[in-house]
C-alpha cells in the first residue's frame, strides 16, 4: 500500500495534504534517489496556475537544493511540456505541480524520470520510504548545495515541439478554432501554437488569477465552449484541463467528442496510413464498448488496462503500441510524447480533419456509444467493496448483463469514492444494475 502516491502522483488539499513540509521531503527524497553518477544533477519544475503553486514550488526548491541538485524553474507549463523538457534539457528528474482537473483548493506533485516517463510503482515506494524516514544525514554539505534558476525560453520550445508533430505541409488555414485553456497551464502556449499553424483562434479560459482554474471552463466543464462554438459558428472547439494533459473536442454543431471517439478517428486514419506500430490501441476498462466494437470492425484489437494514463502507457511500452488513452481525454501518442498531451492530440485530430476535408462532426462520429452510466459513492473509511452484500450485488449485476454489457466497480485513486459503471445495449437494464450496486455499496459504506 502506498501512503502518499495515488494513480497520478501525490494529490490533495493544498496546505492540508500537500503541505510545505511534504513538498520539502518529496524534493529531498526524489533528489537523493535520482543522483546517479558524478555529474552536476538538475531538476526541472513546472506548475499550473493555482495560488498554492508558489508555496509548493518554493518548498520543492528547498528540498532539491538541500541535497545538492540544481533547479530549473519553468513557471506555468503543461504537464506534457514538463515531461518533454525533462528530456530536452537533460535533467535527472522532472516535477509538475498540479492537481489536473481538480478545483483550485487542491494541488499535487507529479514526478518524471530523466526519460520523461512517469515513475513506476517501485520508485514511488522507494521515495515514500525516504519521505517517512530521516534524511538529515544525507543532506549536502555547505559547499555542495544546489542553485535555482528561472528559465524564460520554455514556451517557445514547447510551441515548436507541438508544431513539429504535424508534417510541414499541414496547416490549419481556414479553420476557426475556439480553444478553452481552463485558466490553466496552457493559457499561453495553446492559442499561440494554433495561431502559428494558421488557424483563426478565439481563446477562452486564458485569464488565470490563482483561483479560477477549471472553474466553469475546461474539459470538465465544456458548456461555455459549446456555447461559444455555436455562437461564432466555429469549425471546432478544443477544451483542455488545468494541466493540459487531457482534451475534449466540440464539433461544429456544438456536440461533445470524448476521448473514445477521438481515439477511434485517429486509429482509423493511422491504420489507413500504416502508422500503427501494433494492430490496435490501448484504452482503460472505462472506455465504451462501442469503441471496442468499432476497433474490432477495422480489424484491430483493443487492449484494456486499469484506470489511469500511466497504466495505459505502461501497456503501450511493454507491448509496442503507439496509440492509447482514456475516455476522459488523456490521449497518448508515443511517437511524440511520453505522457498524455491534450494539445498534440487535438493537432493530430485537426490534421485528419484537414486531410479528409470533412466537418469535425463527420470525422469524429465513428460509432454510436452504448448506454453507459457512471455513479459515485462517497465513503469515509473502511473497505465497502469487501462487504458480503456488495460482493453478492456485483455478482448478480454481472449475471443480468451477461455478454451484452460490462460492469466496472473501482475505488478512485484520488479521492474516497467508489465508482460504479455499467454499459450495455439495454439502457433500462444498465440503469437498474447500477442502482442495485450503488444501493449495496451505499449501505455498506454507512
Query: Are 45 and 151 contacting, i.e. CB atoms less than 8 angstroms apart?
Result: no
Query: Are 239 and 180 contacting, i.e. CB atoms less than 8 angstroms apart?
Result: yes
Query: Are 69 and 146 contacting, i.e. CB atoms less than 8 angstroms apart?
Result: yes
Question: Is 100 considered catalytic here?
Answer: yes
d(CA 369, CA 424): 9
Which helix (H) or strand (E) is 146 found in, with range? none
Q: Which of 52, 66, 100, 203 is catalytic?
A: 100
Q: Which residues contact 375 (CB under 8 A, 6 or more apart)?
A: 419, 420, 421, 434, 435, 438
DSSP letter (8 states) at residue 172:
-
Instruction: Please give the grid coordinates belonging to residue 32.
Output: 537523493
Query: Are 257 and 198 contacting, i.e. CB atoms less than 8 angstroms apart?
Result: no
Q: Which residues contact 405 (CB under 8 A, 6 or more apart)?
A: 289, 370, 422, 423, 424, 425, 426, 429, 430
Q: Which residues pair with 375 in a beta bridge?
A: 420
Q: Which residues contact 106 (CB under 8 A, 6 or more apart)?
A: 11, 12, 13, 14, 18, 99
d(CA 283, CA 331): 9
Could you tell me which residues are annotated as the binding site for Mg(2+)?
100, 241, 243, 245
Query: Are 338 and 87 contacting, i.e. CB atoms less than 8 angstroms apart?
Result: yes
d(CA 314, CA 333): 13
Active site members:
100
Amino acid at each position: 500500500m502506498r501512503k502518499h502516491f495515488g494513480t497520478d502522483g501525490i494529490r490533495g488539499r493544498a496546505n492540508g495534504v500537500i503541505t510545505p513540509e511534504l513538498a520539502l521531503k518529496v524534493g529531498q527524497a526524489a533528489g537523493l534517489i535520482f543522483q546517479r553518477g558524478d555529474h552536476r544533477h538538475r531538476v526541472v519544475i513546472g506548475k499550473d496556475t493555482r495560488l498554492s503553486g508558489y508555496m509548493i514550488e518554493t518548498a520543492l526548491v528547498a528540498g532539491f537544493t538541500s541535497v545538492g541538485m540544481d533547479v530549473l524553474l519553468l513557471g506555468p507549463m503543461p504537464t506534457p511540456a514538463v515531461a518533454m523538457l525533462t528530456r530536452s534539457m537533460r535533467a535527472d528528474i522532472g516535477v509538475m505541480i498540479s492537481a489536473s482537473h481538480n478545483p483550485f483548493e487542491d494541488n499535487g506533485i507529479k514526478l518524471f524520470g530523466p526519460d520523461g516517463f512517469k515513475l513506476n510503482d517501485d520508485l514511488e515506494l522507494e521515495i515514500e520510504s525516504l519521505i517517512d524516514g530521516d534524511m538529515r544525514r544525507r543532506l549536502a554539505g555547505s559547499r555542495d548545495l544546489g542553485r535555482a534558476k528561472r528559465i524564460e525560453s520554455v514556451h517557445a520550445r514547447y510551441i515548436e515541439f507541438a508544431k513539429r508533430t504535424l508534417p510541414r505541409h499541414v496547416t490549419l488555414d481556414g479553420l476557426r478554432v475556439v480553444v478553452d485553456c481552463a485558466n490553466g497551464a496552457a493559457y499561453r502556449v495553446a492559442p499561440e501554437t494554433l495561431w502559428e499553424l494558421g488557424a483563426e483562434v478565439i481563446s477562452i479560459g486564458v485569464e488565470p488569477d490563482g483561483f479560477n482554474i477549471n472553474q466553469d471552463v475546461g474539459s470538465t466543464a465544456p458548456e461555455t465552449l459549446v456555447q461559444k462554438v455555436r455562437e461564432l459558428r466555429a469549425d471546432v472547439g478544443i477544451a483542455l484541463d488545468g494541466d493540459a494533459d487531457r482534451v475534449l473536442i466540440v464539433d461544429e454543431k456544438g456536440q461533445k467528442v470524448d476521448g473514445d471517439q477521438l481515439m477511434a478517428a485517429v486509429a482509423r486514419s493511422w491504420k489507413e496510413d500504416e502508422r500503427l506500430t501494433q494492430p490496435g490501441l490501448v484504452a482503460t476498462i472505462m472506455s465504451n464498448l462501442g469503441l471496442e466494437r468499432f476497433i474490432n470492425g477495422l480489424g484491430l484489437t483493443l487492449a484494456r488496462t486499469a484506470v489511469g494514463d500511466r497504466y495505459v502507457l505502461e501497456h503501450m511500452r511493454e507491448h509496442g503500441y503507439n496509440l492509447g488513452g482514456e475516455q476522459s481525454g488523456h490521449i497518448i501518442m508515443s511517437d511524440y510524447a511520453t505522457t498524455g498531451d491534450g494539445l498534440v492530440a487535438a493537432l493530430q485530430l485537426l490534421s485528419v480533419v484537414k486531410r479528409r476535408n470533412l466537418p469535425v462532426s463527420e470525422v469524429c462520429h465513428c460509432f454510436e456509444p452504448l448506454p453507459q452510466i457512471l455513479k459515485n459513492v462517497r465513503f469515509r473509511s473502511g473497505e465497502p467493496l469487501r462487504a458480503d452484500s456488495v460482493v453478492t450485488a456485483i455478482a448478480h449485476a454481472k449475471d443480468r448483463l451477461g455478454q451484452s454489457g460490462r460492469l466496472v466497480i473501482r475505488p478512485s485513486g484520488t479521492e474516497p469514492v467508489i465508482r460504479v459503471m455499467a454499459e450495455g445495449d439495454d439502457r433500462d437494464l444498465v440503469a437498474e444494475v447500477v442502482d442495485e450496486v450503488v444501493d449495496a455499496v451505499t449501505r455498506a459504506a454507512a
